[in-house]
Structure 1
Amino acid sequence: MLGLTALCALWIYPFLWLVSASFKGPLEMFQKGLNLMPDAFDWGNYTRAWQDGGFSTYMLNTFLVTSGTVILVIFHCSLSGYVLGRYEFIGRKTVIGVLAATFVIPLGFTIIPIVDLSRNLGLLNSHAGIILALGGSGQAAAILLYAGFFSRIPKEVEEAAIVDGAGFLRIFFSIMLPLAGPVTATVAVLSFLAAWNSFLVPLVFTFGNPNLRTLAVGMLAFVGTNETDWSGMAAAATLSLVPVVTFFFLVQKYFVEGVAGAIKS
């Protein structure tokens, strides 16, 4: 028990230090070292981050991008997983193999073709472009997770629906997708966290329009040519983490059930 408590304290300490640093002045932040208690709580860091740093706009941008990404990922990954898991067709194993192979490809290697394609489609410097770049690529894990789940559902379920006159889309949206609730919960949580914390794609897609930046990219506002506003950055980082931590605490039950249900299925 004592060992677990010490390990928990070790894991949570960096977050506590970040919150503590967000209330300190620039000099105090370094003078205090590992001490968590500030001499005085300086709320001006949060005011500077929210207003001067533009984080009120970045927060809204991040909510829009994250929500759109989660919806897109669930939509196309569930459909793709359904086809791969339920239908036999020529090249099916090849497709699954290619998807599995994409796990070892870093995002930095694919950013150039993604940007080039988005530029040709006129999607650079737009929320839609960021959402498509985040949600439309690199989702092999979600697709294979759905495929594995759907492949284990008895075929009698579809056959009964076909007898009742249901078509492909009706069967998928009315029967199969609701059955995949555990997988959908897991995919939604992982997609939310990935999209919220994404840096490279939003950075590249907002070069021409800084007002479209997300929270992760907005941190650059505190880095100047000659100095860095560390206390302001700490406040901004704390602001960006609060929605993520709150979201995870609210859905952790569904996330754990989703992982357990997906594995059991």
Structure 2
Amino acid sequence: MTRRGRANLIALPILIVVGVIWIYPFLWTVSAAFKTQAGLFSGGANLIPDQLDFSNFERAWVNAGFDRYLLNTVIYSVSSTLIELVKAALCGYVLARYEFPGRVLLHRMIVATLFVPVASIIIPQFVLVEQLGLLNTRAGVILAMSGSAGALYVLLFTGFFSSVPSDLFDAAKMDGAGFLRTFRLVLPLAKPIIAVVVIFQFVSNWNEFNIPLVFTLAQPDLQNLAVGMLSFKGEHAVDWTGFAAGMTISFAPMLVVFLIFQKYFVNGLAGAIKG
């Protein structure tokens, strides 16, 4: 057996153990969503429910109002992801393909924002949204959620568009294509980067807690799933099985999005690391 084969033989069991440890909390949460309250505490770490209880999902969906929270979460996540995608793609395209005064300085400032904690800008965001008259509205939440990690996405698009052969842009210019038309022509080539941005931003927005909570204090009906999880915490007790059912409901859309974009996502990450 070759040295590489022996290394793989040792690494494979280790990776399997690490994978099981990593995925176990997720599997336990899904299992807990089908357990009774008594079965949850008596079962311990067991993943097999002693008795199936589907009423947990009913409490999460109807009593806790997860139908409303799910709708809000979908609206916030999809809208802010589309805004962030268009914004980052356009900015990256301009930085990669156009020379203008202050371009290098702007690029460095974008890189510098990577080191600014997202939580530190929530107060300026709150003031801005309030002055725009969008506080306690869906538009205000979407606006605040659309600029959380933009710098990283801009850098990804900048690196991609910089690697596109100049002949493609020259041919488009000779055909009379303007700025937006050329952008539309080359954007489909960036599918791997688009997949990375969509997955990262969608998952981040789906799990966002602070912005939907702070920006909708006067309108609880506009809160998302992450904030809605507080519904399971009572004054003296916590509905843990209902909470697990709510978490399971929240997991599903993220898994669907990842499965749809996983092919391009892996290629995008590989390209970003290579670049």
User: TM-score if structure 1 supplies the norm length?
Assistant: 0.94
Counterpart mapping for 1:42-191 below 5 A: 42-173=53-184, 175-191=185-201
Amino acid at match of 2:113: T
The residue aligned with 1:259 is 269
Asked if 1:24 corresponds to 2:55, the answer is no
Q: Do the aligned partners of 2:192 and 2:266 also contact (CA within 8 Å) in 1?
A: no
CA RMSD of aligned residues (A): 1.6
Amino acid at match of 1:235: A
- Gaps of at least 5 residues in structure 2 are 1-11
Q: Match of 1:165, SS?
A: coil
State the aligned residue count: 264
Give distance in 2, aligned partners of 1:233 and 1:255: 30
Q: 1:161 to 1:249 in 2, by over 3 A?
A: closer
Structure 1 runs of 4+ aligned residues shifted over 6 Å read: none
Q: 1:96 to 1:192 in 2, by over 3 A?
A: same
Q: Do the aligned partners of 1:49 and 1:55 also contact (CA within 8 Å) in 2?
A: yes
Moved more, 26-35 or 55-64: 26-35
Moved more, 44-53 or 102-111: 102-111
Q: Do the aligned partners of 1:82 and 1:150 also contact (CA within 8 Å) in 2?
A: yes
Give distance in 2, aligned partners of 1:123 and 1:80: 25
Give distance in 2, aligned partners of 1:79 and 1:151: 13
Q: Do the aligned partners of 1:102 and 1:138 also contact (CA within 8 Å) in 2?
A: no
Asked if 1:196 corresponds to 2:206, the answer is yes
The residue aligned with 2:6 is none
Amino acid at match of 1:131: I
Give distance in 2, aligned partners of 1:115 and 1:222: 27
Asked if 1:37 corresponds to 2:55, the answer is no
Amino acid at match of 2:199: V
Matched residues, percent identical?
47
Asked if 1:219 corresponds to 2:232, the answer is no
- Gaps of at least 5 residues in structure 1 are none
Amino acid at match of 1:119: E
Q: Do the aligned partners of 1:182 and 1:262 also contact (CA within 8 Å) in 2?
A: no
User: TM-score if structure 2 supplies the norm length?
Assistant: 0.90
